[in-house]
Structure 1
Amino acid sequence: MNRYLTHLRHVDLAVPDYDKQLEFYSGIWGLTPVAAEAGLSFLAAEGSPEQYVIRLRKAEEKRLDLVSYGAADPGDVDALAEQLLADGVQLITRPGAVTTPGGGYGFRFFDIDGRTIEVSSDVEARQHRRIEEKESIPVRLSHVVLNTPDLDRTRAWYEKHLGFRLSDTLSSPHMGEVMHFMRISTQHHSMALAKGPHTSLHHVSFELRGLDEYMYGTGRLLRAGTTKIWGPGRHLAGHNTFSYFLDPHGNTVEYTTELEQLDEDSWHPHVYDFSQPEVTDQWGTANPMSELVAKESFNDPDRGSFLAPPV
């Protein structure tokens, strides 16, 4: 199994209500605008060495533009590209210079559901800082969750082609398996795959400094009238806290902290029954998992499948 991927870099969103989205992410959500051009903005997390963790692009249709992962060096980028080509994966670009902030060396390709994935190395590190006590802004991007109509097929594709490993699974007696938590490091998951009616973004998650900061941030969003979907609570799989909100265009975004770090040599994946309330929320403080929560998490069908973003 290849292990070319090192970490999650950024998630790029296309949005019709660009100004409102930019105001949300750079304002109450707590990201820092670092670069912009006409209809394109790059936002960083203050505690992260990544040049940016969210990119917003003005577009007529809402879509997930791409998900970007890091690789250790150009050799790994080239090796992955050659392997994907040999396996018949459709490349959008060949490895070469990356022109977004921080530069680097990378390429793009479609996953099995038609999402654009980018892998890059040698991106210049951003000057970042230690997040202080009670400072309730994102430290870094934590993970991304993607909806797929064929859960096992998509899981197998990510395992075979990108070296993801299964950490845990959520299941229920009535629905069967509904979510796979996938890792590329000792972090419990950098990505999860959720069973959905269509290909779409489930949610994007941001790590806060600690429990206090996570609660301060959750409270700030609630007081500002941001639409809360679910939380605050603590999941069993991954052991992380959760507060899910909607951004202005209906994408689900999460504040989290204390995501589990695994010993990969001894770890064995669990199958958790999410119909048990303590599985979805160990604390019992969150509103119950409901059809409304699930419906918002399904999001709108993604208009970007097998259609590469223009930038």
Structure 2
Amino acid sequence: MVRYRKLGRVELNVTHLESSRRFYEQVVGLQYVDTGHDGEIRLRCDHDHHNVVLHMAPEAGLRCAGFMLEDMAQFEPLIERLTEAGLDVHETEPDTCHARAQLRAVRVFEPLVSATLEFYVPLPDSERPFRHSVTRIQRLGHIVFNTPDAARAIEFWRDVLNFRESDSLGEFVTFMRCWPNPYHHGIGIARFERRCLHHVNFMVTEIDDIGRALSRLKSANSDVVFGPGRHPASDSVFLYFLDPDGLTMEYSFGMEAFAEAHPREPRRMEPTPGNLDYWGSVRDPRCFTRAGANATPDLIGEKV
């Protein structure tokens, strides 16, 4: 069985690189790391070398989602599973891995959510202390994909990639954890008519980080589109807001943790307003829906 440490990286296409960099540094609270060979901006929100990459592109959306494997031994069963599922596995060249602070990495294009996925192990000496700025981000939390083919996508992530279901809200969204990572979900798969980004989440250290974000987002003219509230499924306090391209981002505090052995069974909850938010916030229609199409598979072997 394939074992993961966590969701480790998210790469985004943005239409105005410098304004997006300012937003993610000064408003979201990420730390600048460096600029890549093609001008991409690398940022971090924990001790990893980097967690977010911003690429200049004509249309905003998801470029790649990267999952950190538990160790090098996970590549063999992962590649075997992906190949048996009919996907082409692309080994990342050593020079590119080194530029990304990776010991080894492979990429595939997953057609059900229409996203490039990366699976990697970081270089052993790539961790650095993270300096908190405007908020005390704890880690990159999760990513949720929109797809019209949600049922088949859930099967793929469960049966091929060995993610574990935690809960679902009807057929609206299913939350899955990067097993054996204990947190309630590292990904979500949401039913939607387009294949695009639903949202990216950043976990914060204290509930006060949610409260302080409200005035900061207002000052930055970033629309808050849902919350603050509390999700019954994961027990997380949340706040959703839009980046300069209208991509949905989330701060959240707190989350249920699962034991590796003998966890509780996943629940199927009705997608009622009360099961979306205990506190009764009203979701703005722009929330979760404004992203452009995910990046196409021709970028799968791109160099840094």
Whether the TM-score (by the shorter chain) exceeds 0.5 is yes
The CA distance in 2 between the partners of 1:129 and 1:304, in whole Å, is 29
Amino acid at match of 1:94: E
1:113-192 equivalences under 5 Å are 113=112, 114-123=114-123, 124-129=125-130, 136-171=135-170, 177-184=171-178, 185-192=181-188
The CA distance in 1 between the partners of 2:2 and 2:74, in whole Å, is 9
Question: Do the aligned residues in 1 keep the contact of 2:197 with 2:294 (CA within 8 Å)?
Answer: no
The CA distance in 1 between the partners of 2:161 and 2:93, in whole Å, is 19
Amino acid at match of 2:290: N
1:282 aligns with 2:273: no
Amino acid at match of 1:107: V
The CA distance in 2 between the partners of 1:158 and 1:117, in whole Å, is 12
Residue 91 of structure 2 aligns to a residue whose secondary structure is coil
1:307 aligns with 2:303: no
Amino acid at match of 1:255: Y
Residue 140 of structure 1 aligns to a residue whose secondary structure is strand
1:59-138 equivalences under 5 Å are 59-91=57-89, 93-94=90-91, 97=94, 98-113=97-112, 114-123=114-123, 124-129=125-130, 136-138=135-137
Pairwise CA distance, 1:130: 7.9
Amino acid at match of 2:87: V
* Deviations 1:109-167 (CA, angstroms, capped at 9, x unpaired): 011333110001133442125869xx624221011111011111000011122101110
Amino acid at match of 2:110: D
Pairwise CA distance, 1:95: 5.6
The CA distance in 1 between the partners of 2:126 and 2:230, in whole Å, is 32
After superposition, the Cα gap between the structure-2 partners of 1:229 and 1:120, relative to the gap in structure 1 and judged at 3 Å, is: same
After superposition, the Cα gap between the structure-2 partners of 1:303 and 1:280, relative to the gap in structure 1 and judged at 3 Å, is: closer
The CA distance in 2 between the partners of 1:19 and 1:131, in whole Å, is 21
The CA distance in 2 between the partners of 1:212 and 1:303, in whole Å, is 33
Question: Do the aligned residues in 2 keep the contact of 1:89 with 1:109 (CA within 8 Å)?
Answer: yes
The CA distance in 2 between the partners of 1:266 and 1:190, in whole Å, is 16
Q: How many residues align?
A: 294
Residue of structure 1 in register with 2:200 after alignment: 204
After superposition, the Cα gap between the structure-2 partners of 1:305 and 1:129, relative to the gap in structure 1 and judged at 3 Å, is: closer
Question: Do the aligned residues in 2 keep the contact of 1:136 with 1:213 (CA within 8 Å)?
Answer: yes
Pairwise CA distance, 1:78: 3.2
Structure 1 gap segments, 5+ residues each? 172-176
Residue 239 of structure 1 aligns to a residue whose secondary structure is coil
Pairwise CA distance, 1:87: 2.9
* Deviations 1:250-303 (CA, angstroms, capped at 9, x unpaired): 11000101011123513111111222x32111133x2x23xx43x431234415
Structure 2 gap segments, 5+ residues each? none
Residue of structure 2 in register with 1:174 after alignment: none
1:242 aligns with 2:238: yes
The CA distance in 2 between the partners of 1:202 and 1:227, in whole Å, is 16
1:218 aligns with 2:217: no
The CA distance in 1 between the partners of 2:149 and 2:194, in whole Å, is 9
Question: Do the aligned residues in 2 keep the contact of 1:81 with 1:94 (CA within 8 Å)?
Answer: no
The CA distance in 2 between the partners of 1:106 and 1:85, in whole Å, is 16
Question: Do the aligned residues in 1 keep the contact of 2:10 with 2:65 (CA within 8 Å)?
Answer: yes
After superposition, the Cα gap between the structure-2 partners of 1:79 and 1:269, relative to the gap in structure 1 and judged at 3 Å, is: closer
The CA distance in 2 between the partners of 1:14 and 1:279, in whole Å, is 32
Question: Do the aligned residues in 2 keep the contact of 1:112 with 1:157 (CA within 8 Å)?
Answer: no
Amino acid at match of 2:265: H
Question: Do the aligned residues in 1 keep the contact of 2:65 with 2:116 (CA within 8 Å)?
Answer: yes
Residue 80 of structure 1 aligns to a residue whose secondary structure is helix
The CA distance in 1 between the partners of 2:100 and 2:54, in whole Å, is 13
Pairwise CA distance, 1:85: 1.7
Question: Do the aligned residues in 1 keep the contact of 2:2 with 2:77 (CA within 8 Å)?
Answer: no
TM-score, length-scaled by structure 1? 0.88
TM-score, length-scaled by structure 2? 0.90
Question: Do the aligned residues in 2 keep the contact of 1:218 with 1:255 (CA within 8 Å)?
Answer: no
